Structure 1
Amino acid sequence: MSFQTSPPKLDPAQLMACPQCDALHQAEHLPDGQRARCVRCGTILISPRERSFLHVIAFSFTGMILMIGAIFFPFLEISTRGLHHESSIFGVAMAFSEGWLAPLAFAVLSMIVALPVFRFAALIYTLWPLANGKPAWPHAATMFRLAEESQPWAMAEIFIIGTAVALVKLAGLAKVSLGPAFWAFCVLIIVIALKDSFVSKWTIWDAIERK
């Protein structure tokens, strides 16, 4: 299902711009399961799904639990020439917490841990009352906006890709064993992808305003 480009003299509150090509469309409420696409570039603009708010909340809680394990459980175990070392993400960040490398520890914990956790918490705060048919909590719009704006900086997925590349190079130098935190991160990436598939931004904004 596609939108028709908006005619002139429409209420600005009823218009939405395509995030890819900026074409203006008149927003409409759609039945669950249908999709509205941009008539110019085909980008999905609205994709409501049945009980999507509950699914997003469930995936967000799951992501926060996985993140706790990914931070503190062993991430990698390296053995070479009789030497053995095991480390977690938190331990690695704390190893750089002193001196001129302290900003590196802050960046690691912020972009890999803090921002994803914040996004999970912001989505739960925004959608919990809406999923239960209640008015949105105070500052729900601000929390959801911050969650969306911080998405490009939440780099848990990039961290896993970088780790995979590094492991290929380390495999020839030492014996590398993957710890439970690594697999928790892999599952976390799947959970994030599933969560994003249920997020319809326009539907959430519309629910916040209507409630």
Structure 2
Amino acid sequence: MTQTIGPDDLAQLIACPNCDELYQARLPDEGERAVCHRCHTVLIQTRETAGRRVLALSIAVMILVIAAAFFPFLEISAAGIGNRVSLLDVATSFRSGTLVLVSVASVMLIVLVPLIRTVLLIYVIGPIELHRPPARYAKRAFHLAQELKPWAMTEVFSIGCAVALVKVSDLARLHFGPAFWMFAALSIFVLINDRYLCTWSIWNAIEDTQ
């Protein structure tokens, strides 16, 4: 990964997404990883059946996002008064005034962006794993999926919920609905999916089959 790169090797260059250091891309052995020497970001990683796992996890994430948005997320009761809400109810709780922007942003970052990114990954990886030509506009779709990654704030919402629930638990009685556990599983699946996803391998597969 640190050899001198000649002018004929430009097509084989890979840039670190964090520090922009350039390397000559070489596929590591099975189970090994190519890591940036400057910032230690993983550039290429090879795992057996990783593509199928990413595809399966992406399908699971898509199902969980849709289900978690509509099923009851949390029920709070205090002094004999209870209230049950879903994720969409929480995200759209402010429907007037300037706080409506908070509701719109919440729906987008918690539900829509993760869902769109997952659908794009399935659209790109599905044909590759089925040994078919890449889907039309696969390059644009995968590029958009990567651009949306920082805006899919599933993990951030999970951490925020955990902090809020700890504080509320002393004031009211909490009952976790099915959507709560779906979202917990969703957050774990997203982390595992991102760990298995090797962007270089997908770009390489798209280029090689076009």
TM-score under structure 1 normalisation?
Answer: 0.92
Residues 149-187 of structure 1: per-residue CA shift (max 9 Å, x gap): 111111111011101111111112111222111111110
Contact 2:19 2:38 in 1 (8 A): yes
1:41 is matched with which residue: 33, 39, 42? 39
Q: Aligned-pair distance for 1:22?
A: 2.1
Question: Hey, what does 1:150 align to over in structure 2?
Answer: 148
Which residue of 24, 27, 36 corresponds with 2:25? 27
Corresponding position of 1:112 = 110
* Cα RMSD (Å): 1.6
1:124 is aligned to 2:122 = yes
Q: How many Å separate the matches in 1 of 2:34 and 2:137?
A: 28
In the alignment of these two chains, the number of paired residues is: 209
Q: 1:161 to 1:210 in 2, by over 3 A?
A: same
Larger displacement relative to structure 2 (91-100 or 116-125): 91-100
Q: Which moved further from structure 2: 80-89 or 34-43?
A: 34-43
Contact kept, 8 Å, 2:92 with 2:104, in 1: the verdict is: no
Alignment-mate amino acid for residue 200 of structure 1: C
User: Share of identical aligned residues, percent?
Assistant: 44
1:5 Cα deviation (Å)? 4.0
The farther-off stretch of 78-87 and 28-37 is 28-37
Please list the CA deviations of residues 108-141 of structure 1 after superposition, one character each: whole Å capped at 9, or x if unmatched: 1100000101111000000111111121111101
Contiguous gaps of at least 5 residues in structure 1: none
Taking the aligned partners of 1:22 and 1:74, their CA distance within structure 2 comes to 44
Letter in 1 for 2:27: H
| TM-score under structure 2 length normalisation | 0.93
